[in-house]
Each structure stands twice: as C-alpha cells, then as structure tokens.
Amino acid sequence: MGVPRRSAWIDRDSEAPVALDIETVAVLRTHRARQHRERLAAGPAWERTGLAFTTETGGRLHAADVTDHYRHLTAQAELPPIRLHDLRHGAATMGLAAGVQMKVISSRLRHSSPHFTARYYGDVLPELSHAAAEATAAIVPRRNHPNRLAYGLTE
C-alpha cells in the first residue's frame, strides 16, 4: 500500500479555518485531549504531522481505513449505506433547507463559485419548493388583482 499524501487539488484556501457550531467544537476539543494523551503515550514514536485526525502515533490516516471505519459505524448505527462524499452533498442540501445563502454554502465547501455549488449540490427539496411558492405568493398583492373575479374570488 502506498504512502498517504495530500491530494494535488488541495490549496491554501482548502486548509483555511471553517466556522463550526458549538457542539462540534466541544467534540473536537474532547478529541484533541484524547489525541494529546495518545501523543504522550507514543513518546518519541509520535509523528508530528499537525493533522487533527491521525493514527494512534500521529501518522496520516489511509483513506481506505477511514472509509472502512465509517462503514462500520453507519452499519452499527443501523443507518443506510451512504458514501462519505454524500455527507458533503447532504450538508449543502441541509444548509439550503436551513435558509443559508448559496454563496455561504459555496464558501464553506471551498468551491470557486456559487454556480458550481448550485449545479452539483443544489438539490431542491420538495418542502423547499413549496415554501418558495408560499413565500413568493405572500409578497404578491392579491386584493386588487384584475383577475380575482375571473377566478371566482370575491374577497
């Protein structure tokens, strides 16, 4: 098996800080404390990669190992089989459902443009489509609409 390395497409922007919710920050702090204990236990064998997610001795994780572990966790939780990349897609869709602007979602995903994000990640959930129809209708003045009588509306 080859040596794991960073993908060629990763650039400085890909490694820029990302805003996280408070619960995720708490989980990551707990993880960092556990990793610190592993570093102390590994002693001089610890590899200083500077990565947040490593082997027990600080080395880079192999993608296949991460995927296998993820599949095990999803099966254990009785979740449907979802690829890791699908989580990224789902995060974009949930952001849209939460009303997050496409530009913000695009930035969080480190895409070069919101157009790319919209094209590949912008699934429209049926409930969002209905909400958009209602929101649009709500701003259209109806009382004096010329076709109200034609539609049989008297009020």
Report the distance separating Cα 76 and Cα 32, nearest Å: 24
Do 47 and 108 belong to one domain?
Answer: no
Using the 3D structure, point to which of 60, 82, 109 is the last residue of a domain. 60
Q: Is 104 within a domain? A: yes
Q: Is 116 within a domain? A: yes
Per the structure, how many domains does the chain have?
2
Do 55 and 94 belong to one domain?
Answer: no
Q: Is 55 within a domain? A: yes
Report the distance separating Cα 123 and Cα 48, nearest Å: 40
Name the residue type at position 98.
Answer: A
Do 149 and 103 belong to one domain?
Answer: yes
Range of the domain at 35: 19-60
Contacts 24+ apart (CB under 8 A), 110-114: 110/13, 110/14, 110/16
Beta bridge partners of 60: 54
Tens-digit pLDDT profile for residues 74-95 = 999 999 988 998 898 888 888 9
Do 37 and 104 belong to one domain?
Answer: no
Which range of 9-18, 31-40, 114-123, 138-147 scores highest in mean pLDDT? It is 31-40
Using the 3D structure, point to which of 35, 60, 85 is the last residue of a domain. 60
What is the token pair recorded at 89? 């897609």
Do 88 and 107 belong to one domain?
Answer: yes
Do 67 and 47 belong to one domain?
Answer: no
Spatial CA neighbour of 128 closest among 99, 103, 102 = 99
Do 44 and 100 belong to one domain?
Answer: no
Lowest-pLDDT choice from 50-54, 77-81, 138-142: 138-142
Name the residue type at position 133.
Answer: A
Q: Could you identify the residue written with the tokens 């610190």?
A: 36
Which residues neighbour 144 within 8 Å (Cβ) at sequence distance 6 or greater? none
Dihedral, CA of residue 132, residue 133, residue 134 and residue 136, to nearest 10: 80
Q: Is 1 within a domain? A: no
Q: What is the pLDDT of residue 73?
A: 94
Q: Is 154 within a domain? A: yes
The stretch 142-151 carries a mean pLDDT of: 61
